[in-house]
């Protein structure tokens, strides 16, 4: 087996498995050994299900030998964020209060991955309750590119593990940017689907009308493969839309020739790295045949980011009503602060924000009616060091600034794909977003694939990983 097997694309290992050039047991064993070597430093896994993964891999190899294939994920080791219920495996959602929670059934997305033949390596670490900070008793995963830098939240473990070659793809969730932040900080291709495209049944909520579940992978093609498995209607989740699920991977070569891609003229606060990534995207997509046109973001765009915290807070307060404030001492200060904020919100304030949210959604629909796609930064300040993040604190205006280019698309539910588009002088990845119309994930994935045919940012890997700093958590 090649020494860098763990860094092959999901698509490549799937083809090798199908051709029987590689067995799932061999592949899973190699990944588990790498987790044992590397994750003692990174801390990306909350739980590693080694015995279960090897047993599943053996069963899937037997199916392969019998001529049965469950599809492109058959035998491929992946991992899921620790807010997705997994039968018989602890699911804590990053919360000390839920350390003993062992679900009796799988979340729909986990069940669909298993049905498609994926080997689940374990559960990935995350911030407390999927908000903005890790519980004080749970160490935050490290960024494999540069440990001095933020890993992103809340899907921090998903970002670190996928970038460091500890799984071939992962599931994350995004309520205000939690797929996109760790994707940009770790050099991944992360897809926030349209709200309702992927079931949330069995997924611990932060704010249900804002929560999206989606894939985090090393390329647009790999993300397309995973999305095709997890998307679709679900009787367990009445908000999961019953539209047919396209074969996203099969249509990914459609390209962007003749497509109109909007680039806003009113995007304040972009630093040099963020602008460089956007300029590179413009060049590559133009070379691929797209036409870049100037557009203007709606007047309510920035207000949407400011409204996001209280809107998220009030829905989070509902989600935690059984344990907060009755067990407030078991919560970390950041999540507790959000819940307190939400509980103080008046009905009048909430109504005004909901009306602004509806107006913003309509304005973004109108903007996207004039173009095929939008090109956007992920953050105005392209990357954050851990030191700078701590110094910035939780001031609402600072948080709104960081959420400026992500949260509005959670409020509106539009799909976005984050792609790596550069590196800082400190060797940290920089990303950008492609935004599409509702349920047009196929087009944004095709645009991302076209971009990645012209560039190589997605094929770069962290230069090294430290070892031996933290104990891994095996189960």
Helices 10-18 and 220-230: crossing angle in degrees, nearest 10, is: 70
Residue 103 lies in a domain: yes
- Helix H or strand E encompassing 163: helix 156-163
Write the CB contacts of 33 (distance below 8 Å, at least 6 apart in sequence).
none
Distance CA 440, CA 199 (A): 17
pLDDT digits (tens, 9 = 90+) for 173-228: 999 999 999 999 999 999 999 999 999 999 999 999 999 999 999 999 999 999 99
Domain count along the chain: 1
Residue 470 lies in a domain: no
pLDDT digits (tens, 9 = 90+) for 271-323: 999 999 999 999 999 999 999 999 999 999 999 999 999 999 999 999 999 99
Tell me, yes or no, if 412 is annotated catalytic.
Answer: no
Tell me, yes or no, if 178 is annotated catalytic.
Answer: yes
> What φ, ψ does residue 469 adopt, rounded to 5°?
-95, -30
Q: Which of 135, 199, 150, 151 is nearest to 173 (CA)?
A: 199
Bridge partners, residue 451, by sequence: none
Residue 473 lies in a domain: no
Q: How many CB atoms lie within 10 A of CB 51?
A: 11
Residue 44 lies in a domain: yes
Please state, in angstroms and as integers, the Cα–Cα distance from residue 341 to each residue in 95, 310, 321, following that order: 19, 7, 13
State the catalytic residue, choosing from 23, 24, 44, 154. Answer: 154
Q: Which of 452, 279, 457 is nearest to 375 (CA)?
A: 279
- Helix H or strand E encompassing 448: helix 441-454
Q: What is the DSSP string of 195-235?
A: TTSB--TTB--S-TTT-EEEEEESSHHHHHHHHHHHBS-BT
Residue 410 lies in a domain: yes
Distance CA 122, CA 202 (A): 16
Distance CA 174, CA 178 (A): 4
Residue 464 lies in a domain: no
Q: 215 lies in which domain range?
A: 6-459
State the catalytic residue, choosing from 24, 155, 173, 178. Answer: 178
Provide the whole-model pTM.
Answer: 0.96
Write the CB contacts of 68 (distance below 8 Å, at least 6 apart in sequence).
none
State the catalytic residue, choosing from 24, 44, 81, 219. Answer: 81
- The three-class DSSP label of residue 385 is strand
Which parts of the chain have pLDDT scores under 70? 1-2, 464-475
Residue 265 lies in a domain: yes
Domain of 150: which CATH number? 3.90.1300.10
Residue 354 lies in a domain: yes
pLDDT at residue 475, rounded to an integer: 37
């Amino acid at each position: 087996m090649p020494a860098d097997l763990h860094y092959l694309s999901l698509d490549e290992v799937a083809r090798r498995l199908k051709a029987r050039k590689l067995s799932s047991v061999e592949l899973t064993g190699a990944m588990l050994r790498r987790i044992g070597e590397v994750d003692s430093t990174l801390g990306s896994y909350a739980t590693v299900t080694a015995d279960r993964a090897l047993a599943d891999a053996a069963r899937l190899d037997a199916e392969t030998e019998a001529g049965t294939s469950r599809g492109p994920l058959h035998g491929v080791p992946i991992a899921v964020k620790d807010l997705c219920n997994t039968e018989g495996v602890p699911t804590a959602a990053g919360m000390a209060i839920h350390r003993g929670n062992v679900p009796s059934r799988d979340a729909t997305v986990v069940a669909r991955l298993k049905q498609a033949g994926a080997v689940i390596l374990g559960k990935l670490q995350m911030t407390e309750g999927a908000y903005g900070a890790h519980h004080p008793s749970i160490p935050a995963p490290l960024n494999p590119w540069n440990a001095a830098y933020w890993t992103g939240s809340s899907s921090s473990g998903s970002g670190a593990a996928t970038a460091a070659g500890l799984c071939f793809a992962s599931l994350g969730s995004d309520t205000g940017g939690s797929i996109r932040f760790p994707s940009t900080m770790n050099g991944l291709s992360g897809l926030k689907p349209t709200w309702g495209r992927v079931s949330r049944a069995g997924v611990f909520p932060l704010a249900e009308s804002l929560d999206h579940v989606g894939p985090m992978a090393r390329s647009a093609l790999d993300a397309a493969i995973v999305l095709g498995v997890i998307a679709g209607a679900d009787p367990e989740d009445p908000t999961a839309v019953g539209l047919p699920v396209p074969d996203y991977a099969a249509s990914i070569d459609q390209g962007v020739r003749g497509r109109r891609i909007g680039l806003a003229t009113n995007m304040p606060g972009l630093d040099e790295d963020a602008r460089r990534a956007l300029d590179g995207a413009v060049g590559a997509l133009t070379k691929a045949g797209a036409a870049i046109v100037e557009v203007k973001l709606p007047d309510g765009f920035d207000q949407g980011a400011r409204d996001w915290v209280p809107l998220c807070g009030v829905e989070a307060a509902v989600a935690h009503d059984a344990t907060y404030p009755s067990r407030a001492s078991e919560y970390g200060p950041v999540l507790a602060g959000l819940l307190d904020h939400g509980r103080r919100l008046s009905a009048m304030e909430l109504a005004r924000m909901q009306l602004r949210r509806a107006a913003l959604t309509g304005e973004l629909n109108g903007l996207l009616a004039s173009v095929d796609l939008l090109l956007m930064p992920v953050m105005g300040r392209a990357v954050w060091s851990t030191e700078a993040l701590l110094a910035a604190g939780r001031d609402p205006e600072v948080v709104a600034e960081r959420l400026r280019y992500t949260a509005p698309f959670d409020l509106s539910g539009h799909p976005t794909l984050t792609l790596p588009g550069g590196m800082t002088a400190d060797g940290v990845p920089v990303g950008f977003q492609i935004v599409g119309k509702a349920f047009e994930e196929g087009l944004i994935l095709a645009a991302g694939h076209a971009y990645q045919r012209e560039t190589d940012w997605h094929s770069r890997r962290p230069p090294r990983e430290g070892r031996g700093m933290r104990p891994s958590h095996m189960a």
